[in-house]
Structure 1
Amino acid sequence: MSSKTPVRVDGRDLVLTNLGKVLYPEAGFTKAEVIDYYSRIAAVLLPHLAGRPLTAKRYPNGVDGAFFFEKNAPSHVPGWLRRATLPVPGSTMDRDTIDFAIVDDLPSLVYYANLAALELHVPQWRVAPDGTAQPPDTLVFDLDPGAPATIVECCRVALALREVLAADGLTARPKTSGSKGMQLYAPWDGRQEPSVYAKELAQRLEKADPALVVSVMAKKARPGKVFIDWSQNNPAKTTIAPYSLRARPYPTVSTPLTWEEVEECGHPGDLVFTAADVLARMQEHGDLFARA
C-alpha cells in the first residue's frame, strides 16, 4: 500500500509517495533522500536544466530494478509544469513529435524526483519561450575509459582537450560523469556544426597520442584507451546533467570539478562524489560550472 504525503513547494501542491522506499539498497538511500538532495542542490542544478527538454531515466524500484528512459512527459504531469512539443525525426517509437517536460523550477524538479527519475539527461540546446528549438549553446566531449583505463586517464585527455579548446578561444569546464568517465563542456558560439568540430578535435588528439586516445566508437578499439565521444553533440542526443544523481550502487553525482582536481587526480577514487559530498562542495564552491 503506497503512502502519500501532501506538500506545498513554492506555491505548488504536490503529493509525494512512498518516501521510505529504498532506491539505493547498498547505501540504504531512500526516495525521501533523493527528493531532499534534489531540493537542496536545485539552486545550482536548475540553471543547467532550464529551457532544455528533459529525458528522465526512472528507477521506480530502485537502482537494482528495471528502469526506463522517458522523453514524453507523463499524461498525469501537472498543468503548471512547462512542456514543449518538438519534432523528433527518426524516432524509434515512430512518433513525429514528443511532448517534452522542461524542468525550470523547484516544483517541477521535486515532481520528477518523486517519480524516481534518478538521472536527468538534457541536450546541448534550449527551447525558446515560444517553444521552438534553439541552436546548440554548449559543446560537450564525453570521455569514456576502456578498461583497464580509468578516470585517471580521462583526466590526462581532458587536460589535452583543454589546451586545444583554449587555442580556439573556448573555455572548457570539467565534470565527472558520476559513473566511470567524465565530460568536458564549453560554451558554443555556432562557428560550425558542433559534431563536425568535436570530431575534428577528437581525431587530432588521437593522432597526437594513439596509445591513449581513440575517436571511433568500435568497442574493440577501446581497451586501455579513452574514447572521446564527439557524437554527443548531435542535437538528438542527451548528456547527464551537472549535479544529476547516477543509478550506481551508491548515490554518486555527475560532479563539476576544478582544474586542480583534474591535474592532481592519481587514483579513480579521487573523483568519486556522493550526494552528501556534492552538497558540501556546493557550500564551498557554489556552482563551478557557472564560472567563466
Structure 2
Amino acid sequence: MSRQRVRVDGRQLSVSNLEKVLFPEVSFTKAQVIDYYVRIAPVLLPHLSGRPVTFTRWPDGVEGPAFFEKNTARHAPDWVRKVTVPSPGSAKDREVLEMVVLETVADLAWAANLAALELHVPQWQVASKLQPALPDLLVLDLDPGPDAGIRECCEVAERLRDRLVDDGLDPVVKTSGSKGMQVYAPIRVTDREHPSRYARVLAQELSAETPDRVVWRMEKVLRPGKVLIDWSQNNPAKTTVAPYSLRARPDATVSTPIGWDEVDAVRGGGADPGELRFHTEEVLARVEEYGDLFDIADRTRARLPAV
C-alpha cells in the first residue's frame, strides 16, 4: 500500500493508493475523488453542517463490495468533529452511534481517502445537547420504476412543486445521481413525525389523481411505468444522499442541484433527459456559473401545514 502525507486546509493527512481506480468505466481514481470533494467543498459543506454523516464506502471501487458505515468516529483524526447520537432501529445491538460531522475541507479529504464515495445525511441537525433536533427539511424522493425515467420524474416534481408552493413552502430540487430526483423544502415543525405524515398524504393524493403515473406504496409489482414518491425518507432514522455527493455508479455521476427551469425544459419543452445526468467537472462548472442552486439557507423556512 502506497501512503503519503499531504496538507489540506492546514491539516496533515495521510492518504493512500491515490492511483487506485475506483470507477473503472471512466478510469476515475481515488486521487480524483479526493480532488473533487476538496473543490466542491464550498457548496457541499453547508449542506452537511450539523448533520451526522453516513458513509457508503467502496474500498475496492464501484465494481467491488460496499458497505454503509454510521459508526465512523473510530476512524477519525482528533480534529474531525464527533457526535454521539441515539441509534436508529436499523443499527443492530447499539443504543448509541459514534458518528462524525464533516465541517472542513480537510474532513472531506479524510472521508474521500476512506473511499467514502457517497455521503448521506438525515433531515435534522444535532442539537446543542447532542440529541437530534427537530427536522428542518422535508424530502420527497422520486424513484422511477421500470419503463419510467427522468422525464416522468420531472412531471411529478413539477406537480409536487405546485402543491408545496400552495402550502407556503419554498422547494428546491436535485438529481439523485442515479435514476431519480429529490424535491426538498426547508420547514419548521414541533413534532418530528410531522414531515412523514405530510409527505405520505401528499404522495397518496398525487397517486389517487394519476394512479397510472404515480405510486406511493413500495411494492415492486405496482411500479412499472410509474414514479414512486418515497415519502418514508422523512423517517428521522433515515438518510438521503447529500447534494453534490458522488454516486457509486459506473460513470461517476453526482447528485446535482438543478433549476426548476431545467425540470420544466425536460417535462414540457422536449429537452433531452440525459442532460440532467452530471459528472464532477460539469458540476464544478455549474457551481462556477450559477452558484449553489440548492440554496436552502436563502429560502423561506415555512411552518409545515397540519395533517
**Interval containing the TM-score (normalised by the shorter chain):** over 0.9
Quote the residue 2:114 is aligned against. 115
Unaligned stretches of 5+ in structure 2?
300-307
172 and 51 in structure 1: CA distance in 2 versus 1, 3 angstrom threshold: same
Structure 1 position 74, deviation (Å): 4.7
1:226 matched to 2:227? The reply is yes
Measured in 2, the distance between the counterparts of 1:68 and 1:238 equals 15
Measured in 1, the distance between the counterparts of 2:189 and 2:210 equals 28
Q: What TM-score, normalized to structure 2?
A: 0.92
1:253 matched to 2:254? The reply is yes
Q: What TM-score, normalized to structure 1?
A: 0.97
Quote the residue 1:48 is aligned against. 47
Measured in 1, the distance between the counterparts of 2:43 and 2:89 equals 34
Unaligned stretches of 5+ in structure 1?
none
Identify which range, 239-248 or 187-196, moves more after superposition: 187-196
Deviation readout 1:15-67 (Å, 9 max, x if unpaired)? 11110000000100000000000000000000001110100000000000010
Identify which range, 223-232 or 77-86, moves more after superposition: 77-86
Quote the residue 2:149 is aligned against. 150
Structure 1 position 79, deviation (Å): 1.2
Measured in 2, the distance between the counterparts of 1:84 and 1:207 equals 42
256 and 110 in structure 1: CA distance in 2 versus 1, 3 angstrom threshold: same
Matched residue type, 1:46: L
Matched residue type, 1:234: N
Structure 1 position 132, deviation (Å): 2.2
Measured in 2, the distance between the counterparts of 1:102 and 1:88 equals 16
Measured in 2, the distance between the counterparts of 1:172 and 1:88 equals 30
Measured in 2, the distance between the counterparts of 1:214 and 1:54 equals 29
Measured in 2, the distance between the counterparts of 1:276 and 1:149 equals 27
For these two proteins, the number of residue pairs brought into alignment is 291
Quote the residue 2:302 is aligned against. none
Does the CA-based 8 Å contact 2:158-2:264 persist in structure 1?
yes
Quote the residue 1:276 is aligned against. 281
Structure 1 position 107, deviation (Å): 1.1
Alignment of 1:36-115 (within 5 A): 36-115=35-114
Quote the residue 2:294 is aligned against. 289
Identify which range, 154-163 or 129-138, moves more after superposition: 129-138
Deviation readout 1:157-208 (Å, 9 max, x if unpaired)? 0000000000100011010000000000000111661100000111111111
Measured in 2, the distance between the counterparts of 1:68 and 1:48 equals 23
Structure 1 position 4, deviation (Å): 1.2
Alignment of 1:15-34 (within 5 A): 15-34=14-33
Deviation readout 1:218-264 (Å, 9 max, x if unpaired)? 11111000000000000000000000000001110000000011001
1:172 matched to 2:171? The reply is yes
Does the CA-based 8 Å contact 2:171-2:184 persist in structure 1?
yes
- Give percent identity, aligned residues only: 58
Measured in 1, the distance between the counterparts of 2:195 and 2:154 equals 22
Alignment of 1:173-192 (within 5 A): 173-190=172-189
Give RMSD over aligned pairs.
Answer: 1.2
Matched residue type, 2:236: P
1:162 matched to 2:161? The reply is yes
Quote the residue 2:305 is aligned against. none
Measured in 2, the distance between the counterparts of 1:251 and 1:43 equals 20
Measured in 1, the distance between the counterparts of 2:252 and 2:8 equals 24
Measured in 2, the distance between the counterparts of 1:129 and 1:33 equals 36
Measured in 1, the distance between the counterparts of 2:2 and 2:198 equals 51
Alignment of 1:227-242 (within 5 A): 227-242=228-243
**SS of residue matched to 1:109:** helix
Measured in 2, the distance between the counterparts of 1:55 and 1:228 equals 23
Measured in 1, the distance between the counterparts of 2:216 and 2:263 equals 21
Does the CA-based 8 Å contact 2:177-2:247 persist in structure 1?
yes
Structure 1 position 75, deviation (Å): 2.1
Does the CA-based 8 Å contact 2:73-2:99 persist in structure 1?
no
